[in-house]
Amino acid sequence: MPKKQNNNNYKHLKMKLINSGYRLILICFTVAILFSCKKEDKYTNYLFAYFTGNDGDEEAIRYALSRDGYNYYALNNNKPIIDSKQISSSGGVRDPHILRGNDGKTFYMVVTDMVSANGWSSNRAMVLMKSTDLINWTSSVINIPQTYPSDFGDVVRVWAPQTIYDDKTNQYMIYWSMLGAEGPDIIYYAYANKDFTGLEATPKQLFYSPSNSACIDGDIINNNGKYHLFFKNESHGGGIRKAVSDKLTEGYVQQDGFFDQTDEAVEGSGIFKLIDSDEYILMYDMYMKGKYQFTKTKDLQNFTVVDDAISMNFHPRHGTVIRITDKEKDALLKQWGTLDKSAFTSFKGEGIRKNNIDINDDEGTIYIPVILGTDVTNLDLNIETTPWVNALTKGPQDFSSGSVDYIIETAGKQKIYKVSVHEDNNPVLSGFYADPEIIYSHKTNKYYIYPTSDGFTGWSGTYFKTFSSPDLVNWTDEGVILDLKKDVSWVDRHAWAPCAIEKKINGEYKYFYYFTAAQKIGVAVADNPTGPFLDSGKPLIAERPEGTRGGQEIDPDIFSDPVSGKNYLYWGNGHMACVELNDDMISIKENSLTLFNPGSTFREGTEVFYRKGTYYFLWSEDDTRSPNYRVRYATSDSPLGPLNIPDNNLILEKRPEKGIYGTGHNSVIQTPGTDIWHMVYHRFNRPKGITMGRAAGFNREVCIDKLEFNEDGSIKPVEPTISGITSLK
């Protein structure tokens, strides 16, 4: 019997151990599943939903991805991911706000139903959208005055809706701004119905401005039990303000001060938390500058600008960011990840003219221009791609015999580009510059280009630079020679279209620099062509000449008549005017004004030079933002006219077959002691300029090509080239 008892004890212990083992296995399996789910659900990337502008399909939802929350890359080649006409009543949508639902797997998006071309008080509706995969969306339109005619029948605009989950009521609250027949804009709210297709009740006012200011673009975040409402204050100073409440739907108290970190006009603030961090990003649309500003904070009270860390290969307007998983990112890439020009973020190889790389997706080619003298037999393009695209071709390649195949891949797809490298010398300056004036200095035996510093929205640059060359081919950046904000007392904006001249006075070389600032013309003086230049302290030309109508006092051109020795300053936009300067070169001879009649083609950019007894007058026609900006000319027997305008006087214009547009605002230079002449001019950036709309007019670049004459002295049409010149001959 004892033996049997021992056997029973042994069997019981054995079963207990087996069951314990099973339980341990089950626990381990459960932990593994939970760990796997946790890993699966971990946020690893960011999705940015945005729109891009006020024209055509710019008012549509677009997507971009980021790994770090700072650097964003457009999906679908920056094209819409949804057709606005299919989801809206107006045909356009703006201000997309995207939210991950409380269940973690449903997504909600709300957008303004609007086409801005119909007017800023033309929209009455918003669109509610729902998705389980970020790709396929259901939608419904809510027209406020039609839905609530007795309460909101006079509403003329419904702007920038957003959504937040209310964990007290387990509902999704939508909030937005509205303007009735009498202002101001007010932020309202209402709960969405269960299907997220409509509103459950009549909207109520969410925020009461203590100054009765117009308030739009609200954005709420819950932090430590308090609701922080960021919004755009449309009046009383403007900017991003904040109100705080313990409750989601009431009690918001406006905080002191503004929370944007710029003096620029802003709107569309959005705040999101960085992954695995206690830091938040507050971003907002600096819509007049065409870019976003990002700021960082831990306490939602103190913000630091982090613009230097931000990059985007697109120009967004009012959008929002959410965090997403690897699985969600991969699905988006499978749907909208493209193997096209948007996959390339930079080419960092030595000598590459980065602004002029031409990627042709239709033909599968990449044209790489490099500076003269680059070793193309052993060139590493050092290609960088978006984080989700791999460049399989790496390292130095020999481009001397023709193109080289480069392979890129993403999401299981591959594409081959034929890449060719070319030693081009147009543009001659690296970067964006325009309105080039050129001189030859007998003091240094060098040429100098004095351009407008370009690349600033609305021509808003405030400084001037110069570039030197011994041969018109190789150019050195000599730095800033005049900064309006530092060096000029009477103006600090719109540094445009300078000109310069070298004069020998009492045996010493002096350099006189005439520049446009705030649509007036000033003058500065230096002992060297590279400065430093000392401003005279007041504008030389400040008013429109008597006898003219319209136009601006811009685009000076200085000319020293080799026959009479007199010095003339020409200028004008819409009118061509001239005055004689006194010997000091910084004051105007009394009663010396001359007005010319160059005809209806004259716009601006006068250039005067002398050759073999003839005075040549060149000018630009059309608008510098137009692809058809071009140069015409006239001749005269005198620096004061009258002008003889040839029948065929067009000498520089676009070459669409070469991708060259917007050619104009030129100067002319003669190689000393020869009859060799060149024209220096600007054009749109090639190849991107023609795709930029009117913004191409402040993203220009400087080129040089030959200027030649017929036997009778008439000017031959100048052929604008990509290759440029390689010698003075």
Question: Which residues participate in catalysis according to the annotation?
Answer: 435, 604
Structural tokens at position 517: 């600032």
* 139 within 8 A of 129, measured Cβ to Cβ: yes
User: How far apart (Å, rounded) are the C-alpha atoms in residues 600 and 513?
Assistant: 29
User: How far apart (Å, rounded) are the C-alpha atoms in residues 690 and 656?
Assistant: 10
Structural tokens at position 266: 């802003």
For residue 387, report the phi and psi dihedrals to the nearest 5 degrees.
-60, -20
* 293 within 8 A of 314, measured Cβ to Cβ: no
Q: Which residues contact 164 (CB under 8 A, 6 or more apart)?
A: 99, 172, 173, 175, 220, 222, 248
* 439 within 8 A of 498, measured Cβ to Cβ: no
End-to-end CA distance of the chain: 120
Structural tokens at position 359: 């990627």
- Between the CA of residue 471 and those of 433, 435, 709, what are the distances in Å? 20, 20, 21
User: How far apart (Å, rounded) are the C-alpha atoms in residues 184 and 692?
Assistant: 35
Residue 610, Cβ density class (10 Å: 0-12 exposed, 13-18 middle, ≥19 buried): middle
Of 684, 576, 583, 657, nearest in space to 620 by CA: 576
- CA angle, 718 then 720 then 722, to 5°: 155
**What three-state secondary structure class fits 424?**
coil
Of 413, 410, 292, nearest in space to 344 by CA: 410
User: How far apart (Å, rounded) are the C-alpha atoms in residues 198 and 139?
Assistant: 10
**What three-state secondary structure class fits 582?**
coil
Q: Between β-strands 433-441 and 413-423, what pairing exists: parallel, antiparallel or unpaired?
A: unpaired
* 368 within 8 A of 344, measured Cβ to Cβ: no
